[in-house]
Amino acid sequence: MTAPDFDQGRARGEAYLFLATLYAGQPTADLLAGMAAAADRLSGDDGAAGEIMKALAGESDLEALTLRLATEHTRLFRGVREGYGPPPPYEALWREGQMMGDSTVAVATAFLEAGYEYDGAWGPCDHLAEELRFMAALCMAEDTLDRQEAFLTRHLSAWVPTYCQALAEQTREPFYGALARVTAEIVAQDGEYVRSLLWQPPDALVRERGV
């Protein structure tokens, strides 16, 4: 096993928190103003946040933008009524077709075993925003690679790609299309990264042992 890099863990945690914030609530005018201003200065590979910010490039009427995204956030994430938007982002709903399923229990167990407390702001603990916040907490802690790999494999990787594909297809706003793409990419890439830390190839182990 390769020792995790603290700075890398913190950066990964901040990325998960950034995504969680965007799923958790409607973006405020101040947040959008800062992101739109930053979007006009971005170029090249600016990471996950940069890709989402670029979706706001050229937006000049921030009041109208805030209203549009607030309306779209409600449609996409609140489950107002069937057919109005995708089912809201609860793991059990997407994996089992029901709220409060076996997936919910498994997530609650993972939280309990890790000593993680959630405030219930989104109801059941398997809401995407809470799962992302949990991953952020694990990334910023020490000696949690096994827990990170387990949660990514058993939970996020098991439903987020399908959910994000539906989100990207159904959104009317480029901002949320970018959010869907970035979320799916981060979950996939982070899973590969964590596994690379846990499972070194045999030749690397041989070199370490000087054989």
Structural domain span for residue 102: 6-209
Examine residue 1 and state whether it is found in any structural domain, yes or no.
Answer: no
Percent with pLDDT over 70 in the chain: 88
Rounded average pLDDT over 54-59: 80
Examine residue 173 and state whether it is found in any structural domain, yes or no.
Answer: yes
Examine residue 200 and state whether it is found in any structural domain, yes or no.
Answer: yes
Examine residue 51 and state whether it is found in any structural domain, yes or no.
Answer: yes
Examine residue 198 and state whether it is found in any structural domain, yes or no.
Answer: yes
Question: How far is Cα 14 from Cα 109, in angstroms, rounded to an integer?
Answer: 24
Examine residue 104 and state whether it is found in any structural domain, yes or no.
Answer: yes
Kindly state the DSSP code that residue 82 receives in the 8-state scheme. Answer: B
Looking at residue 204, its pLDDT comes to 47
Domain count, the chain: 1
Q: Which residues contact 192 (CB under 8 A, 6 or more apart)?
A: none
Rounded average pLDDT over 173-190: 95
Question: How far is Cα 96 from Cα 174, in angstroms, rounded to an integer?
Answer: 29
Q: Residue 110 sits in a domain of what CATH number? A: 1.10.3480.10
